[in-house]
Structure 1
């Protein structure tokens, strides 16, 4: 019979804590976490005060210390989660590849799997991992974990299919060494019978801002009008991080021409950046884009820079605020980001959307409990 422990978890490469937040919502207890980014660590500790956080590079974290810190024995941890840095695999990195030293950090995760022998593993990364050197990293991850006794499956999940108001694709590795099925969560939204959560439903209850405006701590000025807004506001009496960045005069001029759902194509040629004046109409699809109220947010990156995507507010002449970016990532409003505004945007963009992580966590618990019931009934 499977020996069940409380749904304990350790989160590696935890960043600000999006994966931890979602797994907590699913019913996991995050015992310990690690990251080397100082600003992200501050945010993590603030929002997950019950979790023992280890500052510093993953290379200096041993499985022995994690076991000591959590009070567990090898093999007792329910789940080891983590998202090794993805920059080496990102399509936005034109020098990406296995030669990038960051591309090998998944091996640190595997090293700790071997030392801890958790019952389940969850690893997340960008979909670019599938194309770099013909998916070499995916093959190494799968084979290494298989050699340790794990049945591991991977799949690209679409965040919008799990209630996240954003176009976002991420590859998830899920596995266990318990001999039970590895199942991925079924989508909850299909865009037809259950529409995706759109931009209007995600952010339009938030106070209006100007350029370089807002406050780190503020009050709501409007009631929520969508179920998503109500969910995001749960357990939050104040509004955090609703601040927008500055815009140069040239971008303010450009923005005046961009219609809702529009992009750089709406901007007069003389106002375009020099490198885009000769661009084909099919190129740079979402650059200098203004979000559409009835559409999804584009992928939230570590910089909500309009030069790289649709980050202009749908009805206000500014870039989306940190809180709006966090809403598009499905962070609840009670989740406060610390550090400078630049660091806050980076933390939001690097995170796993909590609602996507919650769906994964719930499926793991569901699979484990249903298998346990079948085993118990067979012994009766």
Structure 2
């Protein structure tokens, strides 16, 4: 079940689809800080390093599925909210261009919940209509990764479509009642994380577990404006792409409220407040420890982990796609 992957990043989507029985035969990623990580973790996948704008569809192999998460910064609540007016927002149309040219059986596209902001309503409807006009029955839903065995509150939008001639409409998997929390995934890492070297350069092989190192440095006024600590028996805050805004380790007490938009670390416990390590963030994102992230500076490591789709969430979506295609006897016809 060969698929192609656009805006692949560190490969969170690809890991989930691989676990569900799919194989990424060709991937595209333009960020040079990610190339080594993707290629070493997916040695059997061809990685095209060009900008997708410069890749003609004839250079992309045939496959039954197309997956990807077009860059989301321009849609994010934490960003400028420029949306489709930003050149990064327009990369959604490159995804649609490849979809129209290759006509796979299905597609899956992921993006941030900021797309639902009222100011983006016209742009969002435009994108949805483009998917439909491309010949696909579109399913569209906001999901929280915590409902799919991911120990983190993380809301993301998913666009999933089956080609119209298949006479199928994707049904999103139901949420799981059993949840996972911080203690379930990072308790065993609490005592051996390393602070980054000067200027947040990596410790490299000095880490007993790959990437188990955390960014150091001061905390901004914005960071200190609200609590950044979740307890062991809670899900993590959303793992973000910026290391300076990584959640704090649950060993620390929750930050003390002083006034609106101002909190402080509890006096006497200041030494307990540290950012989650890159490996802890990766565990919370449900990456296996065998998935190594390669970087010189920790900022690149946090970015790769934070921008990824949690592999567990990707798996449940991929598994639902595979089961629906199998039940309809579609896979037998194309194999």
Is the TM value for this pair above 0.5? yes
User: 1:324 pairs with 265, 273, 280, which one?
Assistant: 280
Mapped partners of 2:205, 2:194: distance in 1: 16
Q: 1:184 aligns to what? A: 172
Using structure 2 for the length normalisation, give the TM-score: 0.85
Aligned to 1:231: none
Aligned to 1:337: 293
Are positions 1:240 and 2:214 aligned together? Answer: no
Give the match's secondary structure for 1:101: coil
Unaligned runs of 5+ in 1: 1-6, 221-238, 252-271, 278-283
Q: Aligned in 2, Cα 1:107/1:297: closer, same or farther, shift over 3 Å? A: same
Which aligned pairs between 1:22-61 and structure 2 lie closer than 5 A?
22-61=16-55
The C-alpha deviation readout for 1:224-283, integer Å capped at 9, x for no partner, is xxxxxxxxxxxxxxx2111112234xx5xxxxxxxxxxxxxxxxxxxx94x799xxxxxx
Residues 1:138 and 2:124 aligned together: yes
| Matched length | 306
1:115 counterpart SS class? helix
Distance 2:204 2:318 in 1: 31
TM-score by length of 1: 0.75
Offset, 1:160: 0.6
Query: Could you tell me whether the CA contact under 8 Å between 2:83 and 2:120 is conserved in 1?
Result: no
* Change in CA separation of 1:211 and 1:42 when aligned onto 2, cut-off 3 Å: closer
Using the alignment, how far apart are the partners of 2:149 and 2:123 within structure 1? 29
Asked if structure 2 preserves the Cα contact closer than 8 Å seen for 1:247 and 1:318, the reply is no
Output the CA distance in 2 between the equivalents of 1:314 and 1:217. Answer: 25
Computing the radius of gyration from Cα coordinates, the structure with the larger value is: 1
Gaps (5+ residues) in structure 2? 253-271
Q: Is the 8 A contact 2:194 2:212 kept in 1?
A: no
Partner SS, residue 335 of structure 1: coil
CA distance in 2 between counterparts of 1:293 and 1:83 reads 30
RMSD over aligned CA atoms reads 2.4
Partner residue, 2:315 = 358
Cα gap change, 1:21 to 1:331, in 2 (>3 Å)? same
Conserved? CA contact 1:162–1:355, under 8 Å: yes
| 1:66 and 2:60 matched | yes
Q: What is the deviation of 1:28?
A: 0.6
The 3 A distance-change label for structure 1 pair 309 and 34 is closer
